Amino acid sequence: MKLLLENAHIEGIRYFEAYRKNGGYRSVEKALKMTPDEIVEEVKKSGLRGRGGAGFPTGLKWSFLAKPEGVPRHLVCNADESEPGTFKDRYLMEFLPHLLIEGLIVSSFALGSNATYIYIRGEYAWIPDILEQAIQEAKNNGFLGKNILGTGFDLEIYVHRGAGAYICGEETALIESLEGKRGNPRIKPPFPAVQGVWMRPTVVNNVETLATIVPIINMGGEAYGNIGVGKSTGTKLISACGNLNKPGVYEIPFDLSVEDFIYSDEWCGGIPNGKRLKACIPGGSSVPIVPANLLLKTAKGETRYMNYESLSDGGFQTGTMLGSGGFIVLDEDQCVVKHTMTLAHFYMHESCGQCSPCREGTGWMWRILKNIENGKGKMEDIDLLWDVQRRIEGNTICPLGDAAAWPVAAAIRHFRDEFEWHVLNPEEAQQRNYGIAHYADPREVPVA
Amino acid sequence: MANTDIQFSGEALEKVKEIIARYPEGKQKSALIPVLHLAQGTFGGWLDVPVMDYVASLLDIKPIEVYEVATFYTMFNTKPVGKYVFEVCKTGPCMINGSDDIIKYIEDKLGIKPGETTPDGLFTLKPAECLGACGYAPMMQLGKYYKEHLTREKVDEIIEQCRSGNMKID
- Could you report the predicted ipTM of this complex, rounded to two decimals? 0.97
* A27 closest CA partner among A224, A230, A314: A224
Decide if A413 touches B, using CB distance below 8 A: no
Q: Which of A80, A25, A18 is nearest to A53 (CA)?
A: A80
* DSSP single-letter state for residue A321: -
CA distance A338 to A377: 13
CA distances from residue A448 to A108, A280, A335 in whole angstroms, order as listed: 54, 20, 22
> Which pLDDT belongs to residue A283?
97
Residues 68-107 of B with CB under 8 A from A: 68-69, 72-76, 90-93, 95-97
Angle at A77 between CA B170 and CA A240, to 5 degrees: 75
CA quadruple A13, A14, A19, A25: dihedral, nearest 10: 150
Cα within 13 Å of Cα(B47), Cβ side: 27
CB-CB contact of B83 with B49 (8 Å): no
For A16-226, the fitting CATH number among 3.40.50.11540, 3.40.80.10, 3.10.350.10, 2.60.40.420 is 3.40.50.11540
What own/partner pairs with CB < 8 Å and gap ≥ 24 does B162-165 have?
Answer: B162/B83, B162/B84, B162/B122, B162/B123, B163/B122
**pLDDT classification of A436: cutoffs 50, 70, 90:** confident
Cα separation, A127 vs A124, in Å, equals 6
Judge: B29–A338 Cβ closer than 8 Å, yes or no. no
What average pLDDT values come out for chain B (170 residues) when binned by 10 residues? Answer: 78 97 98 98 96 98 98 97 97 96 98 97 97 97 97 98 95
Q: 3.40.50.1820, 3.30.390.10, 3.10.20.600, 3.20.20.450: which CATH number matches A240-331?
A: 3.10.20.600
* Full-model pTM: 0.96
Instruction: Name the pLDDT band for A447 (thresholds 50, 70, 90).
Output: very low
pLDDT digits 0-9 by tens, A398-408: 999 999 999 99
CB contact under 8 A, B68 and A181: yes
Instruction: Give the H/E segment covering residue A73.
Output: none
Task: Write down the domain spans for chain A.
Answer: 16-226, 240-331, 336-431
Mean confidence (pLDDT) of chain A:
96
Q: Do A305 and A295 form a contact (C-beta atoms < 8 A)?
A: no
Q: How far apart are CA A89 and CA A127, in angstroms?
A: 11
Residue ranges of domains in chain B: 3-72, 84-163
Average confidence (pLDDT) over A249-274 = 97
Query: Distance between CA B155 and CA B136 in Å, rounded?
Result: 15
Taking the Cβ of residue A85 and every Cβ of chain B, the question of whether any pair is shorter than 8 Å is answered with yes
Name the 3-class secondary structure at B8: coil
Q: For Cα atoms A119, A121, A126, give the angle at the middle one, nearest 5 degrees.
A: 105
CA B1 – CA A412 distance, rounded (Å): 54
B94 among annotated binding-site residues = yes
Q: Do A243 and B33 touch (CB under 8 A)?
A: no
Instruction: Output the pLDDT for position A106.
Output: 98
Q: Looking at residue A444, what is its pLDDT?
A: 55
Question: What's the confidence (pLDDT) of residue A55?
Answer: 93
Residue A158's SS3 state is strand
What is the mean predicted confidence (pLDDT) over A382-409? 97
CA–CA min distance B136, chain A (Å): 8
Question: 151-190 in A: which are within 8 Å (CB) of B?
Answer: 156, 158, 160-166, 177-183
Which residue of B89, B94, B129 is the best one to mutate when testing the A interface, meaning the one whose CB has the most A CBs within 10 A? B129
Task: State the pLDDT at residue B1.
Answer: 46
Q: What is the largest CA-CA distance in chain A?
A: 74
For residue B164, the distance in angstroms to the closest alpha carbon of chain A comes to: 23
Q: At residue A446, does pLDDT exceed 50?
A: no
- CATH class of residue range A336-431: mainly alpha
Residue range A254-277: average pLDDT?
Answer: 96
Q: Which residues of A touch B73 (CB under 8 A)?
A: 122, 162-165, 183
- SS3 per-residue string spanning A77-140: EEECCCCCCCCHHHHHHHHCHHHHHHHHHHHHHHHCECEEEEEECCCCCCHHHHHHHHHHHHHH
Indicate the residue of B27, B37, B134 with minimum beta-carbon distance to A161. Answer: B37
Count CA atoms closer than 13 A to A296's CA, side-chain side: 19
- Can you give the pLDDT at residue A97? 98
In degrees and rounded to multiples of 5, residue A65 shows phi and psi of -60, 125
| pLDDT tens track for A63-106 | 999 999 999 999 999 999 999 999 999 999 999 999 999 999 99
CA distance A407 to chain B (A): 12
Q: Does A121 touch chain B (CB under 8 A)?
A: yes
Q: What confidence score (pLDDT) does residue A238 get?
A: 98
Three-state secondary structure readout of B50-87: HHHHHHHHHHCCCHHHHHHHHHHCCCCCCCCCCCEEEE
pLDDT value of residue A440: 56
**Whether the bond into A189 is cis, omega within 30 of 0:** yes
CATH superfamily of B84-163: Glutaredoxin (3.40.30.10)
Predicted pLDDT of residue A441: 55
pLDDT at position A435, please?
Answer: 85
Q: What is the DSSP letter of A12?
A: T
Q: Which of chain B's residues have a Cβ under 8 Å away from the Cβ of A124?
A: 132
* Segment A99-150, tens digit of pLDDT: 999 999 999 999 999 999 999 999 999 999 999 999 999 999 999 999 999 9
- Inter-residue contact B133 to B146 (CB < 8 Å): yes
- pLDDT confidence of residue A28: 98
B132 touches chain A (CB under 8 A): yes
Q: Are strands A277-281 and A290-291 parallel, antiparallel or unpaired?
A: antiparallel
Bigger pLDDT: A445 or A290?
A290
| Residue contacts between A and B (CB atoms, under 8 Å) | 144
- A367, burial (CB in 10 Å: exposed 0-12, middle 13-18, buried 19+): middle
Q: What is d(CA A33, CA A10) in angstroms, rounded to the nearest whole number?
A: 29
Give the other-Cβ count within 10 Å of A167's Cβ.
25
User: H or E element: which one contains A61?
Assistant: helix A58-63
Instruction: Residue B123: name the closest of B79, B149, B99, B159 by CA.
Output: B159
Task: Read off the pLDDT of residues A157-212 as tens digits, 9 standing for 90 and up.
Answer: 999 999 999 999 999 999 999 999 999 999 999 999 999 999 999 999 999 999 99
Q: Do A164 and B93 count as a contact with CB atoms less than 8 A apart?
A: no
Q: What is the pLDDT of residue A207?
A: 98
Task: Give the C-alpha separation, A350 to A398, whole Å.
Answer: 13
- The answer on pLDDT for A282 being more than 80 is yes
- What pLDDT, on a 0 to 100 scale, did the predictor assign at position A354? 96
Tell me, yes or no, if B56 comes closer than 8 A to chain A by beta carbon.
no
CA distance A424 to A67: 62
Query: Does B162 appear as a known binding residue?
Result: no
Cα(A344)–Cα(A346) distance, integer angstroms: 5
Of A182, A239, A339, the CB nearest to B92: A339
The CATH number of the domain covering residues in B3-72: 1.10.10
pLDDT tens profile A292-319:
999 999 999 999 999 999 999 999 999 9
pLDDT score, position A443: 56
Amino acid (one-letter) located at A150: G
